Structure 1
Amino acid sequence: MTFDTEIAMASELRKLKLIIFDCDGVLVDSENLSIVALHDVILKQGGILSEEEVIQQFQGRSMKSARDELFAKQGVMLSQESLDEMNKQLFTCFKEELQPVKGVRSFIESLDLPVCVASSSHPERIDVSLTATKLKSYFAGNIFSSTMVQNGKPAPDLFLLAAKNMSVPADCALVIEDSPAGVEAARRAGMLCIGLTAGSHAKHPNHKQRLIEAGAHWVVSSYEEVAEVVEKLSEVN
């Protein structure tokens, strides 16, 4: 299916009224730092997973779902104390090193559509990330965390909550995601979805394929390409 054909098919279904951003790997280039930290705490608590397996299983998912799955499959319990220590170290790292994903600031500033954030991370982490990268002001309090819903991604709950709070029908929203779990959640919510591989963690060809298999309408490698999709959707609407 060609780029323009996909645009045409999508445009028959909905009018674009909202862009929903995931946070980690979409707004902020945090995933490599986060995966290293999570892998380390899993090993310290007795888990047996490689760093690649942590990426495959838990990227884009809430910490609650990761904890539940680790306990169910390996009997490993990530204590709150261990997670608090991980977050303390990670937040220090974010404040010193975290960068926005390349091109995201210019893209946001070019939009004339409402925007919001819907992230699997807990509110404190989202706040630290967006503050460190000076992106927080763009979202004017329109920030939604998986802690606000019963089921995190790949369930559609978080995206549906975001659309509801932004007073936009779900099928008029476009989601930008970097993880298969997030793409699946967007599709299950009835939303258009761009799979983005602009983050430093997403350069392996396998990552692009995973986003395609999860159902992304488009998979692109830069915010310049995201802008092209949004422009074409705006033209046909």
Structure 2
Amino acid sequence: APAAAMPATPAAARAAQAAAAAADLPALRDAIAAFDGSALRDTATNLVFADGAPDNRLMLIGEAPGAEEDRLGRPFVGQSGQLLDRMFASIGLRREEGGFYITNILPWRPPGNRTPTDAEINLFLPFVMRHIALARPRHLVLLGGVSAKTLLRAKDGITRLRGRWHRVAVEGLGEVPALATLHPAYLLRTPAAKRDAWTDLLLLRRTLDAEPHES
């Protein structure tokens, strides 16, 4: 029924409205900071919006900020972020040189680093989709199960989704190619999985190399 597509709560409706009204990335950041529809804002220290070069052709999307990210207000700066930077540097993509742009599904740290709830994910999803639309990447990398399952609208877990290109429909951009891969936090807990992550990185590098370079 058509009603199923409507926002489920007044907060979700306000999130969708605020996201759609943001004309650029600074406005989107301000809209997220001002949005009071989630209790996460009350328990977190800092808004974690994004990092890296926003005009990049490559956008990475993770799950949620952790303790270090919450403290510093930047995504992926803790242990998993350091691993991520080493991984992407190994294929020539360095954050400090504008190699990629990175954000999360949630802009606020969940208490105790717990997994985001479906309600929290759905509430902030309009902001994520608007973020992609404004950043205009040519490729997405979805880091971990929360990001991949949310943006691909998939029931499969990350181990089934990873290692191949999917597509994410984004308003104003059409379908953006999206590579699902393992979250670096998972790789810290499961070092044997780094082999799969490396395979994914090589696929990303080959795809980027096959594209014509823009002048």
TM surpasses 0.5: no
- Whose radius of gyration is greater, 1 or 2? 1
Q: Which of the pair has the greater relative contact order for Cα pairs under 8 Å at 6+ separation?
A: 1
Q: TM-score of the superposition, structure 2-length normalised? A: 0.37
